[in-house]
Amino acid sequence: MLNSFTAVSALRANAVALNTVANNIANANTPGYHKQSVLMTELPPNLVSNLQVGTGVKVQSIRRSYSELTERALTTNASELAASDARLATLNQIESVFTPGPGSLTDRTQKFFDELERLSANPGDVTQRGIVLRGAEALTDELHSSLSQLGSIKSSLRTEAEQLVRDLNSKADEIASLNKQIRIAEGGGANANDLRDRRDQLTNELAGIVDAELSTSGGGRGSVLLADRTLLIGEKSVNLGIATSPEGDTILVNSASGEQVSLTGGRLAGLFQSINEIVPEFENQLNEFSNGLIHQFNQTHATGVGASGPFEQLFGGRAVGDVTAPLAETATDFPIAAGELTVTVTDAATGERRNTRLTIDPKTQSLDDVAALLNGVDHLEATVNSTSRKITLRAETGFGFDFTGQLETTPDLTAVTGTSLPQLAGRYNGTANDTFAFTVVGTGNVGVTDGLSVEVRNGNGDLLNTLDLGSTYAPGTEVEVSDGVRVSFGAGTLAAGDTFDASAIANSDTTGVLSALGLNEFFNGVSASDIEVDGALLNDPRRLAAARSTRPGDNDNVDRLISLRDEKLLRDGTRAFEGFLTETLGNIGDQVRDASLESDSLKASQQRITAEREAYSGIDPNEELVDLLKYQRAFEAASKTLSVMDELMRTTLDIVR
């Protein structure tokens, strides 16, 4: 008995196979599509006269060419690559902010210092002073601009992150829906290949946003794990959102629980790293540069004087947290150390200067205490406004004050009983503050009495010099004491034991209190966002403290400001200002290059893994055409078999007729 069902089964099976081939060809360019192939198996045989006679063929399954290992590698790579690209894009933008050239931060810094060096040649020149101040203003403008650009980068990154999170939520919803469909579709035992392909594709797209991977949970039907495997997309989706942490970081949160979600990959991870680490790193560098510049410049500027010489009054530009609390325990813009502040009061009529050295200990003294100390200086008044928490210094009419620490012309002669008038001259060029104590040995007339001399000792009591004031000394003649300090004694008497001191000041403020209180400032502000050249200086360049005296050619303080250029004052004393910027630029270059190499490497990996996936799961139309021919021939053969059966049947029927 002929069994036409066998042939029919062949027709059916090969038709399915032909459809599968056609589907493969149709989806040859569909992203995420995996090659499908038909798995045929023979139908159970019939027992005919003790013979097992085959009954045909059936399609047991349509199988995807799917390599879990390769797919996982591809997903992981997509995640890492997306994060890397996000970082690279950010670094490229930052690089453009710092790229050197005319008008750049490095250029403006360099020009500012160059103009200062030019001022050294003509310290009294008001035009050159104006040029220096405009150079400083251009530098502060560029700092603002650079910081603002970094802020814009951060802002646009956050906007992108928010868009990505919406995209992520949408994809998660679709995956959850697919998971449900797969469960239903595969409930009957069939493979939901197309649904799985779609889910795989979505998973890979998701991996571009966050770190994602397929899980084999869900009874083998699989689900998707996110965010370092802390979130599961089953048949129920997740909903994520962006929030700001108490520390100010931009973070991903589970909208339902409000808990922070940690990421290890995907573009979002790159964006968060950019927002929270990379951009702030460079913002911090700008702020460190600005803060250092403000602090160091103000400190040096405060110890000089403008063209008008000593001040009649100065308003402190910086507040402290609490005027009654010890300075070390309350907020100040710049640190204050224990040390000595030298304030000089000048009698405008006589030009006589009097130095007063104040010892300041921030651990025990408050702003009120410091003001009280300053109030104790003759002809100087210090007041603290308890509301603004700032100090104001004012000299009595007919007097001026400054913090230059220059030598007194006539020392304090309280302990001198003789009539000879000692006068100091020169400029102390030692490196540390000292006190030269002059003590008279012998009694008599200066320039007359042999044996009359003066011993000069430093603060440690070491004998520096013995000045012979006997008959070989011409009264009024200056003689060298030590380190650039000279002294002369007028005609008159000196008595044994007469003594006076000369303050030899190398640094008139070893505490940093002048910059901390904002006295005679060059820059206002504390960071790149608020750094400004002091308005009073801009209005009147003559206030620029180029000198430490009223002599128009005195460039002493300009030279001290210039010396800041080469001093390593940033990064814990390892970088000078320009070196710091160069290093920042170099660092950006390094980071861009590293990120670029990482991205290239991940792309190469992606290329290799994609090639592997293509090798395993991709569609080769030639191969499909061969299969097409194979199944076409099989279909034709099955048709022929039916045709033969038909003939045999007809022949048999003809016998009956």
What tokens appear for 355 in the block? 């130095």
Minimum distance from residue 282 beta carbon to another protein (Å): 12
Minimum distance from residue 298 beta carbon to another protein (Å): 21
Widest Cα–Cα separation across the chain: 171
Nearer to another protein, 442 or 475 (CB): 475
Sheet holding 399-402, edge to edge: 353-360, 339-347, 399-402
Q: In a 3-state reduction of DSSP, which class is residue 23?
A: helix
Residues numbered 372-401 forming contacts with another protein, rule: CB under 8 A: none
Q: Which of 204, 503, 555, 599 binds another protein (CB under 8 A)?
A: 555
Per CB under 8 A, 29 contacts another protein: yes
Nearer to another protein, 117 or 532 (CB): 117
Residues numbered 479-538 forming contacts with another protein, rule: CB under 8 A: 490-492
Per CB under 8 A, 451 contacts another protein: no
Residues numbered 163-202 forming contacts with another protein, rule: CB under 8 A: none
Tally of CA atoms within 13 A in the half-sphere of 101 that contains its CB: 5
Q: Which of 12, 63, 118, 379 binds another protein (CB under 8 A)?
A: 118
Minimum distance from residue 115 beta carbon to another protein (Å): 8
DSSP state of 278: I
Minimum distance from residue 49 beta carbon to another protein (Å): 45
Burial of 461 (0-12, 13-18, 19+ CB in 10 A): exposed
SS3 assignment for 482-510: ECCEEEEECCCEECCCCEEEEEECCCCEC
Nearer to another protein, 325 or 592 (CB): 592
Give the type of residue at 308: S
Q: Which of 111, 196, 199, 221 binds another protein (CB under 8 A)?
A: 111
Q: How many CB atoms lie within 10 A of CB 419?
A: 13
Q: Which of 324, 552, 633, 636 binds another protein (CB under 8 A)?
A: 552
Burial of 359 (0-12, 13-18, 19+ CB in 10 A): exposed
Q: Which of 272, 401, 473, 631 binds another protein (CB under 8 A)?
A: 473
Per CB under 8 A, 646 contacts another protein: no
Residues numbered 560-579 forming contacts with another protein, rule: CB under 8 A: 562-563, 566, 578-579
Nearer to another protein, 356 or 555 (CB): 555
Residues numbered 583-622 forming contacts with another protein, rule: CB under 8 A: 583, 585-590, 592-593, 596, 603, 607, 610-612, 614-616, 618-622
Minimum distance from residue 367 beta carbon to another protein (Å): 36
Phi, psi for residue 411 in degrees, rounded to 5:
-70, 170
Q: Which of 474, 496, 644, 649 binds another protein (CB under 8 A)?
A: 474
Minimum distance from residue 633 beta carbon to another protein (Å): 13
Contacts of 653 (CB under 8 A, 6+ apart): none
Stretch that binds another protein, among 143-151, 154-162, 365-373, 624-632 (CB under 8 A): 624-632
Sketch the per residue contact string, 80 through 109, with another protein: x for CB under 8 A, - otherwise: -----------xx--xx-xxx-----x---
Minimum distance from residue 216 beta carbon to another protein (Å): 26
Query: How far is CA 575 from each of CA 106, 114, 241, 580, 581, rounded to the nearest angstrom?
Result: 14, 19, 42, 5, 9
Stretch that binds another protein, among 354-362, 521-529, 548-556, 649-657 (CB under 8 A): 548-556
Q: What is the DSSP string of 588-648?
A: HHHHHHHHHHHHHHHHHHHHHHHHHHHHHH---HHHHHHHHHHHHHHHHHHHHHHHHHHHH
Per CB under 8 A, 582 contacts another protein: yes
* Cβ–Cβ under 8 Å, residues 524 and 450: no
Q: Which of 72, 77, 82 is nearest to 273 (CA)?
A: 82
* Cβ–Cβ under 8 Å, residues 528 and 289: yes
Nearer to another protein, 384 or 595 (CB): 595
Q: Which of 50, 431, 460, 472 binds another protein (CB under 8 A)?
A: 472
Per CB under 8 A, 425 contacts another protein: yes
Distance, in Å, from the CA atom of 241 to the CA atom of 244, rounded to the nearest integer, reads 10
- Total site size for another protein, rule CB under 8 A: 77
Q: How many CB atoms lie within 10 A of CB 508?
A: 24
Minimum distance from residue 182 beta carbon to another protein (Å): 25
Per CB under 8 A, 281 contacts another protein: no
Q: What is the DSSP string of 193-213?
A: HHHHHHHHHHHHHHHTTS-EE
DSSP state of 326: B
Minimum distance from residue 63 beta carbon to another protein (Å): 16
Residues numbered 288-327 forming contacts with another protein, rule: CB under 8 A: none
Nearer to another protein, 254 or 582 (CB): 582
